[in-house]
Chain A
Amino acid sequence: MTSTYLLPLLKIVVILNAVLVSVTFMTLLERKVIAWVQVRLGPMRVGPYGTLQPIADAIKLLLKEDITPVRADKWVFTIAPIVSMVPALIAFAVIPFDREASIFGYRVPLFVADINVGLLYLVSITSIGVYGIILAGYASNSKFPLLAGLRASAQLISYEIAVTMMLVSMVVMSGTLSMVGIVDAQYNAHVWYAFVQPVAFVILFIGGLAETNRAPFDLPEAEQELTGGFHTEYSGMRFALFFLAEYANMIVVSAVATTLFLGGWLRPFPNVAWLGVLDFVPGWIWFLLKTFVFVYVFLWIRATLPRYRYDQLMRLGWKVLIPLGIANLIVTATLKVLL
């Protein structure tokens, strides 16, 4: 009983809390990183060097009036932020932070579940996430959110195809759909898949940017064009939920990219014996470090690049990424059969 129900529940609680806290502080990280890029200081007033800023933000958002527009579709308007938040959170169920860690003498696997369709589960979960945005656009009963909703759904569906192609390539490489299995396969192959599959790596990263609505693909929420896109009409905690969902999705994409391409919890050069000192650092720290690098690149890109236009985005997705993805899949499969 303890091991079948209590332990997974405990892990879920810990991971959810960790995710929510890190998401909250990612808002601060984003503001700080972009501020440094832009030769500013960023938030400095709340706490030392502004470190308590997210808490102030959270209090502000909680205390704000939760406005529902009169002509909005009230139920859908309320459900939409939840629908976009939940998939972002349950995606963490299959992400392996480490194979095992010893906590108080117990050897505990550091993932909630290692299901044999882990990767497909992730894909299907992200495909649910698009509902939040479409529904928010529809329910607000306002033109800017509607345009954003249409943009977002088209964008997410198109880039999902490219990303899924890449994931299938990775499945062909590793021969398993399990996230833990993919890391093990990289250990056995003596190499991170980022070096074997650079095309897939790049496409997954670009697709990840697009799927999380991050710059330069942040069209659905382009403030300068659509006055905030699908969350134009939202305020207070419901707005915060959209925000948190976006950041949680960033972490999910980073974590998935880490697992698939950077060897998950494996230390650099896991098969080189004389680097054994690196084993001193626990695997989950390696995992978090690699994930953090991705997150940082996300922010860095946002600070650097202008925004794509809608039709250019679609062209990039359909005419470049998807054909490249299919070609990559075919080459991977062919080589896998031949070798």
Chain B
Amino acid sequence: MTLTPITPYHYLVLSAALFSIGIVGVMVRRNIIVILMSIELMLNAVNINLAAFSYQLHNAIGQVFAIFVIAVAAAEAAVGLGIILAFYRNKETLNVDEMNTMRW
């Protein structure tokens, strides 16, 4: 069996698929922690893209941006989980549908 050599396109397809899974997770699941995790999946998809292009172009700038994405993801996780904990203390729920006090 011979496999075609791996090109950046393969990585882009992988990243697209992962991104789509993330979208499905965000839209379908009601558990806010899972939604946050789906967002992490999407961020990872983006990172794969960045790394793939960095490899293709022989340029490390893509990796630098991936590192920035990771930093932002860390900040997002910390604040997001803080909000979840604070919310859970008051409402005893993790369901996003019940988080509607700001809705009009």
Direct touch of chains A and B (CB < 8 A): no
Binding site for B on A (CB under 8 A): none
Residue positions of B touching A, CB distance < 8 A? none
